Amino acid sequence: MSPDRASDPIEVAYLADGAVAMRNAAHPEDPPLRYTAAEWKAFTLGVRDGEFDVEAQPDVQMSCCSMYDVGE
């Protein structure tokens, strides 16, 4: 990820059926990525277990996630 892209916030919406939708807040016109409850659980367990850990890059600023309404 380049430093100019590090500031693009990712928005996460938890849907009624347990699924999750994610999108890039800098491009809200783009369709969200949707994940089933099982896919999201597998992802979050992988994060917890360090499956996606990368070496820190001190010059790259990461922003946190925010919630958004997908109209369901």
- pLDDT, tens digit (0-9, with 9 covering 90-100), for 23-50: 999 998 999 999 999 999 999 999 999 9
Average pLDDT value for residue range 51-68: 67
Mean residue pLDDT across the chain = 80
pTM of the model: 0.60
In 3D space, the residue among 18, 15, 17, 21 whose CA is nearest the CA of residue 33 turns out to be 21
**What residue type is 41 in one-letter code?**
K
